[in-house]
Amino acid sequence: MEEKKYVGKKELWMFALGAGGQGMIYAMMSSYISDYYVNVLQLNLWFVLGLMLLARVWDAINDPLMGMIVDSHTTKWGKMKPYILFASVPIAVLTILMYLSPDLKGTSLMVFCAVVYIAWGMCYTMADVPFWGIPNIITPDTKERGSVISFTKIINSVGSAFPEIFFFIASLVLPKIIDSSNVVEYGKKKYLIIAVAVVAIGSLLYINSYFHIKERVVPPIHKRQKGEASSLKRVFTCKPLMLVLLMGVLSSGRYMVQAAAIHVARYAFYIPTGKYKGVDLASLSYADRVAAIDASVGLVKTVFQICAIVGMFGATLLMPALMKKIDYKKLLIYTCIAGAVSSLFTTLIGWFTNNLYACIPFIIISSIPLGVINVLTGALIGDGLDYLELKTGYRDNGLGSAIQGFVNKIGSALSTCGIIVMYMLINIDPSEMYSATAVKSALDLTHAQNFAVFSLVSVIPGVSLLLCSIPMFFYKISGKEKEKMIEELKAKREAEGFNVAE
């Protein structure tokens, strides 16, 4: 007998396209903000490191707080949906402000950047936590929920690739139409143009999803009894959810493949293109040197992005089928170990040959776990919430989604912090590399410095993937245990009059 489907194709596509728009905006921040702060605005490295750490400490408070707000309030427009509208405009404005490059210097510039960055994180949390809680309320069926998450993550991954495409196009086109005689000022204009394009398209897709999503799953209202555990305690004592949280934090290094790629493109490789092939950089004028290095950066960044897309998006594309045939736990463990082994080969090639193209197949393989983890995190959290509901009678969807949001943001921040620390360790001074009088390339660094930067996308992701598989060995919601849980939860819901709208 065919199981009932709750989510129609149009609703699924509109929700997924909204996720694609969100992916565009998030990638604009996570993949480029470190390069923008360090190499374009040339902010103090200690300041950038401190800002990222401070923002994550605040997120540790802000994300669960938002989850509790979502769980405890229902508006006349719905429980999760309204935040899509409430937060979309502030996020759009703050994303553009983040790349606006105001005419400020020193402390004033740092204060501006700190305020905008932290405000962006707060507004993004306001949208992200409820948005990724939606799969738990548009269908009560576990398998359909998994399908919704996997398909939505596919489109989310497609959206996250758009800023990379814009960056590559901008690297080819903008030097021809914008004055690049000052590399820093050119970089500011380049990033602002890309940010405006991303925000315009991403915001429209994201806001549109509000009008097509239906909240169907309405859990019974439980009034907290005296002596009963709070929502925070329930979630943070739920072992399956905490194992997923630990797995997500340990997998933070996987973000390096995307977040550090622009830095690797600047400081690990120089690949001349077009009219600059076979030409000695030292013989070029300042403007031509800027154009040559910018073209190389665009090419190397694109190679990494294509590898990430093939590996990550390819895996994401296959996830709906794989999730039906392979247990979530096994799927995550197997792919993470394979990715770690592949990263080892990438590291060896990088050290002995410094040949970017020889690394391509291994970068692709090590990117596969990115897609797997991105999809399975949401699905595993959904299963964890099922377990929580079965054991306690409560289903804290908002707090569960907050775990996923926190995992994503802590991964992005730790990646940025790792990049900044690497700059400090190998003594790269962006103000010396990019100035109004001189612009340098990877050729001006030592082999050890080149490889140290390259390790950000080889050594660190590999170690991270290996570590993140460990908590999954202790995750018990799989196989027959999961089937048993689903049946018990179904019976419990029927007994309690759990309401599901058509």
Residue 488 within any structural domain of the chain: yes
* Residue 207 or 439, more confident: 207
Q: Is 81 helix (H, G, I), strand (E, B) or coil?
A: coil
What's the pTM? 0.78
Distance (Å, rounded) from C-alpha 127 to C-alpha 67? 11
The CATH number given to whatever domain includes residue 353 is 1.20.1250.20
Judging by beta carbons within 10 Å of its beta carbon (0-12, 13-18, 19+), is residue 80 exposed, middle or buried?
buried
Compute φ and ψ for 379, nearest 5 degrees.
-65, -40
Cβ proximity of 231 and 394 under 8 Å: yes
pLDDT tens digits, one per residue of 306-321: 898 889 888 888 888 8
Distance (Å, rounded) from C-alpha 303 to C-alpha 358? 12
Cβ proximity of 250 and 369 under 8 Å: no
Distance (Å, rounded) from C-alpha 152 to C-alpha 131? 11
What pLDDT score does 308 carry? 84
Q: Which ranges of 326-396 would DSSP assign to H, the alpha helix?
A: 328-352, 356-392
What 3 state SS string does 85-132 have? HHHHHHHHHHHHHHCCCCCCCHHHHHHHHHHHHHHHHHHHHHHHHHHC
How many domains does one find in the chain? 1
Q: Which residue has the tokens 């919704």?
A: 148
Residue 223 within any structural domain of the chain: no
Residue 4 within any structural domain of the chain: no
What pLDDT score does 499 carry? 61
Quote the DSSP letter at residue 229: P
What pLDDT score does 57 carry? 75
Considering 26-30, 95-99, 231-235, the range whose residues carry the highest mean pLDDT is: 95-99
Judging by beta carbons within 10 Å of its beta carbon (0-12, 13-18, 19+), is residue 470 exposed, middle or buried?
middle
Helix axes 45-72, 106-131, angle to 10 degrees: 30
Residue 319 within any structural domain of the chain: yes
Distance (Å, rounded) from C-alpha 114 to C-alpha 65? 21
Mean pLDDT of all residues in 408-420: 82
Those residues with Cβ within 8 angstroms of residue 323's Cβ, 6 or more apart along the chain or in another chain: 146, 147, 150, 331, 375, 376, 379
Residue 372 within any structural domain of the chain: yes
Residues of the chain with pLDDT > 90: what percent?
Answer: 34
Mean pLDDT of all residues in 14-25: 94
Mean pLDDT of all residues in 430-458: 86
Quickly state the pLDDT bin for 1 (edges 50, 70, 90): very low
Residue 217's DSSP bridge partners are 500
What pLDDT score does 224 carry? 59
Distance (Å, rounded) from C-alpha 445 to C-alpha 293? 14
pLDDT tens digits, one per residue of 42-54: 999 999 999 988 8
Residue 368 within any structural domain of the chain: yes
Domain of residue 189, residue span: 9-217+229-500
Residue 299 within any structural domain of the chain: yes
* Residue 133 or 359, more confident: 359
What pLDDT score does 179 carry? 81
Helix axes 183-208, 286-308, angle to 10 degrees: 30
Residue 121 within any structural domain of the chain: yes
What pLDDT score does 501 carry? 58
What pLDDT score does 197 carry? 95
Residues of the chain with pLDDT > 70: what percent?
Answer: 95
Average pLDDT, the chain: 86
